[in-house]
Amino acid sequence: MDAAATETFVRRFLDGMQYEASREGPPDGFPRFPPIPGGRYNDPAFFEAERQGLWKRTWLYACHTDELPDAGSFMLWTRTGSPILIVRGKDRKIRAFYNTCRHRGGPLVKTDAGRCDGLVCSYHGWTYALDGQLVNLRDRRDFVDLDMGAHSLVSVRCEQLANWVFINEDPNARPLLEDLGPIPGHLEQFQPESLRFIEKHGYDLKCNVKVLLDAFLEVYHLKSIHQNTVDRFLDHRGTSIALFRHGHSLMVTPNRRPDWVDPGTVGMRRVETATVISTSNNPSWNLYPNLVTPIDPSGCPFLLFWPTGPDSMRIECHWFAPDWGDAELSPLWATRIANFDRILDEDLQFAEKIQKSVESPGFRGMTLNYQERRIYHWHEELDRRIQAAGIEIPAHLRVQPLLEPYYET
């Protein structure tokens, strides 16, 4: 992003936060949201439509290139239910394939991660190069007219944003960077090529994935859930929001004091090119559908929300920091991650109880306000993707498209 575009971006949010803090209601003409149907949170049939129309057909963050350091480094990735093998080739390129032998479907790898010189099916010994080409098989003489070139592993779309690797099972999906629109340009301020992987961990919860994800698309809940933590230093009433095409969004929440600095980041290496939007405020991106990152010049987590069933999910936290060179990672990171997990616990505490509530006859739908428009935006995009997959959504479960006039570029 050039200097003029950066200045426009900064001014848009500085003015936006000032406007939000002083307004007395939503902008003139802003629509009233119809309730989001409750069945979208508790109907197994809608969950299946969502699984097929969204999760099987969208770009999903899988790993950082640091997790595949050497030729032959691999990872078995199963977040969509499909066994997908992500592997770094001898040419250093990272590729993805279904972990499915072209003979009779045996797995090529059976561990979650590791390193290999080639991919060998342990069922009958068919052997593939790291680029997926079939290179050898036992008793080839007994296969009549076998075209080895036509029996490569079936590839899965695998593309990168900086050193972050994304997977998409839809072979006809738009390219990742096209899907993300202006987001890669906005992220340049953090020098993403220099960010290194630290660690990842996760938690399983008994709730629909949207129950928890919704909480990370708004700050309306800060005064109730985070009274003694986040609400002490963020002013939710000044939050400025940008909605982008394809479901992506950004919210920037101002610090209560312009000179406030997160004590957990003091003494840490920082990216010096970050704008004031990030150094003196709190931006949080949603890369649709399930990646939320409150990115900071000193590093960030990727929060990933994965459905595991109609009423179950997993949240993962993947952490990244500016390149620390040959030195040891700062011991401050252990404290920072622990502090973040304590705040995360505040968000997790009610998730399973909310799920019980949304399954009750008392849940008729969600009534959203202007501050919660990222949630409505998320649902609008969900319907577009389900319908683009040729799946019909019953009328009583659809949301009315309202927000496209408010998209930004």
User: Token match 């197994």: residue?
Assistant: 44
For residue 390, give Cα distances in angstroms to 46, 383, 385, 386: 14, 11, 9, 7
CATH 3.90.380.10, applies to 3-58+181-404:
yes
Ramachandran area for residue 61 (φ above 0: left; ψ -120 to 50: alpha; else beta): beta
CATH of domain 60-161: 2.102.10.10
The span from the CA of 332 to the CA of 304, in Å, is 23
Q: Does pLDDT of 397 surpass 90?
A: yes
* pLDDT for residue 263: 79
* pLDDT for residue 40: 97
The span from the CA of 321 to the CA of 300, in Å, is 7
* pLDDT for residue 233: 87
Average pLDDT, the chain: 96
Annotated domain spans of the chain:
3-58+181-404, 60-161
* pLDDT for residue 151: 97
pTM, to two decimals: 0.96
Q: Does pLDDT of 248 surpass 90?
A: yes
Q: Does pLDDT of 361 surpass 80?
A: yes
Mean pLDDT value across residues 380-385: 98
* pLDDT for residue 266: 85
The span from the CA of 62 to the CA of 75, in Å, is 9
Q: Which two tokens stand for residue 198?
A: 């630290």
Instruction: Encode pLDDT of 113-135 as tens digits.
Output: 999 999 999 999 999 999 999 99
What share of the chain in percent tops pLDDT 70?
A: 100
Q: Which two tokens stand for residue 207?
A: 């709730």
* pLDDT for residue 258: 78
Q: Does pLDDT of 264 surpass 80?
A: no
299 half-sphere exposure, CB direction, 13 A CA radius: 27
Mean pLDDT value across residues 273-285: 95
284 half-sphere exposure, CB direction, 13 A CA radius: 21
Using only C-alpha atoms, the chain has a radius of gyration, in whole angstroms, of 23
* pLDDT for residue 162: 98
Instruction: Encode pLDDT of 167-179 as tens digits.
Output: 999 999 999 999 9
* pLDDT for residue 10: 96
Q: Which two tokens stand for residue 405?
A: 């006039």
* pLDDT for residue 409: 86
Mean pLDDT value across residues 352-378: 96
Instruction: Encode pLDDT of 209-247 as tens digits.
Output: 999 999 999 999 999 999 889 888 899 999 999 999 999
